[in-house]
A and B are shown apart, each in its own frame.
Chain A
Amino acid sequence: MIEVCDLDKSFGGLHAVDQLSFCVEAGQIYAVIGPNGAGKTTLFNLMTGLYIPDSGQILLEGENIVGLPPEQLAQKGLCRTFQNLQICMNMTALENVMLGRHRHLQAGFLPSLLRLPSLRRSERACRERAAALMDFVGCGNYLRTEASAMPYGALKRLEIARALASEPKVILLDEPAAGLNGAETAALEQLIADIAAQGVTVVLVEHDMKLVMSISQRLLVLDYGRKLAEGNPDEIRKNPDVIAAYLGA
């Protein structure tokens, strides 16, 4: 599904992602772990077109996507959430999710200006899909709420709903459990499993080891932008480098 080859990105003298290569199979839950500053978010920014790599390739279903802007990657079925929330606080919760359906709406300019019946129909359908997704991620009771009035945990799920609304083939989740309490994290674990069960490939950056170990099929451990280890949860648990550098600490 995704193939990353010799990816490199520096900020000044800092090597944030260093000769990184890995492969994500379709349908997998693939986790990327590593201490703060390891380069996980930078990797996501590279994969979603927000940063341009210094060198290396990123293949999505065999096609090199390096240099494509985020909006074109979204069209190809790549979507993400953010570690620091990126919610449109000037909209309602539902509108945020409706925004996620943008690439599926062919609203012409004139139908929009004149609010023609075709537009009303597609908007109604869009609203229903968005509401169903909010139910799916567990924030169905915030349909009418302004995003700015929602609690943090609900906003994290709202962001996932917005990403799902774009009907991605691959979804990249950057620390979805950060700041959540135990019950919320358990619900999130179930949600991620449900998303994967629908056939969406999940790439997950997460610090919560219990969560990561229990739901991901494969893990990539980053340290100073380099691959420290890669394998299934058992292999990672037993890997001496990982224990020394990260889990043991």
Chain B
Amino acid sequence: MRHMHSRWGSQISFLSLALVLVALPFVMQNDFHFDIATQIAIIAATVVGLNLLVGFAGQVSLGHAAFFAIGAYSSAILTSRYGFTPLPAMLAGAVGVAVLALILGKPILRLKGHYLSMATLGLGIIIAIIINNEGWLTGGPDGIPVPPLSVFGMELSIFEQYEIAGYTLSGTLLWYILAAGLLLVAVWIAQNLIDSPIGRALRAVHGSEVAARVVGVDTTRYKALVFVISAVYASVMGSFFAHYSGFITPQIASFQHSIELITMVVLGGMASTYGVILGAALLLLLPQLLTDFQDYEMMMFGLILMLTMIFMPKGLLPTFQQILRRALRRSPKTDP
């Protein structure tokens, strides 16, 4: 049966991702490589969550950087000024974001069309302004330092070496392992959700909202649910990003950052969990490969977004899979 295939398929995809993540440290040669890989993993986990909302449920958020930033700043502020340890701070940020997304999402998601895009765009702008202006709390435009992540009293810093079971491991490697593990958990949860009745209802909201409703799906409730889930993904990843970076600035709350996240989803492939990871990797690697990229970043993202929409509306990975499937079908069958 097809469904058996797709479950098999998703398990193989998951294992492949895990293999790639395990293999990378053997290929990467210096701290700079590890740094990029860790950032990619954190942002990829964020867009895996965003994809649940945009790709699967078809609801566009243009302000997701706000949730990422709230998570990051909650961790920074609560740990540095209010004596929280990192995990409770992260949790507090996530709960705050969940409540905010619920309050914002419930009334807006009742409406059809582009209201969610507009409202999230507005939220993004407001959060960015607050972070910039409330310098006493957030450090303002200059940014704010974030204490290192500490788990059970052990601080995880990229500048340290750690003795574990007789091996000496660098902080950069441990951070990479943590980020890669987070990405795997993020993917696992997202895939579980998509394969469940909840995921079916979400995809139906995208496929035909009226069809979903007449078979009993409370579409408003499900849209609010996925909005909250994707916001919490962003918040948690924002918290990790803050601890990893050690220093955050309002740039992470900017409209530009929101657009980056959306571009990763669209480029990699809407409704393709592994596609959006590819999208995140490509868009974070590109500035490293093209030194001029940074000067024209906004323009480049706009261009990539436009070209993808026009020439490859399904995104990289789904388009590639489609080409591969066609090629396989056309090739002569060798089995009896």
Interface residue ranges, A against B (CB under 8 Å): 48, 50, 69-71, 73-75, 79-80, 82, 86-92, 94-95, 98-100, 102-103, 105, 107, 109, 111-115, 119, 123, 126-127, 131, 143-145, 162-163, 165-166
Contact = CB atoms under 8 A, between A and B. Distances in A.
Main secondary structure of the interface of B (DSSP, over half): helix
Q: Which 8 A-B pairs have the closest CB atoms?
A: A88-B207, A144-B2, A74-B216, A103-B216, A112-B196, A86-B211, A70-B213, A107-B197
A71 B216 contact: yes
A165 B203 contact: no
22 contacts: A50-B213, A71-B213, A71-B216, A74-B213, A74-B216, A86-B214, A87-B211, A88-B203, A88-B208, A88-B212, A90-B207, A92-B3, A94-B3, A95-B203, A99-B200, A99-B211, A102-B201, A107-B196, A112-B196, A113-B189, A113-B196, A144-B5
B214 A92 contact: no
B195 A115 contact: yes
A234 to B, nearest CB: 33
Contact of B216 (A92, A94, A102): A102
B210 A143 contact: no
Interface string B183-202: 00000010011011111110
A3 B163 CA distance: 77
A236 B215 CA distance: 33
B215 A99 contact: yes
B275 to A, nearest CB: 14
A109 B5 CA distance: 25
B218 A71 contact: yes
A86 B203 CA distance: 13
Given A50-B213, A102-B212, 9 more contacts: A50-B214, A74-B216, A87-B211, A102-B200, A111-B196, A114-B189, A119-B196, A126-B197, A163-B214
Contacts of A69: 213
A115 B196 contact: yes
Contacts of B215: 74, 79, 99-100, 102-103, 162-163, 165-166
B215 to A, nearest CB: 5
A100 B200 CA distance: 10
A89 B213 contact: no
B204 interface: yes
Contacts of A71: 213-214, 216-219
B206 interface: yes
Contacts of A88: 203-204, 206-208, 211-212
Contacts of A109: 198
Interface residues of B, number: 30
Contacts of B206: 88, 90
A102 B197 contact: yes
A238 B214 CA distance: 37
A123 to B, nearest CB: 7
Contacts of B207: 87-91
B200 to A, nearest CB: 5
Given A102-B201, A144-B5, A115 B211 contact: no
B204 A99 contact: yes
A103 B212 CA distance: 11
Contact of B214 (A70, A107, A126): A70
A74 B2 contact: no
A86 B210 contact: yes
B102 interface: no
Contacts of B189: 113-114
Given A86-B210, A144-B5, A98 B196 contact: no
A86 B210 CA distance: 7
Nearest to A76: B216
A133 to B, nearest CB: 13
A222 B200 CA distance: 38
A143 B195 contact: no
B271 interface: yes
Contact of B196 (A73, A87, A100, A123): A123
Given A92-B2, A107-B196, A99 B201 contact: yes
A107 B192 contact: no
B290 interface: no
A113 B208 contact: no
Contact of A162 (B1, B2, B196, B211): B211
B217 A102 contact: yes
Contacts of B210: 50, 70, 82, 86
A71 B204 CA distance: 13
**Most chain B beta carbons < 10 A, residue from A90, A92, A103, A162:** A90
Nearest to B195: A115
Contacts of B213: 50, 69-71, 74
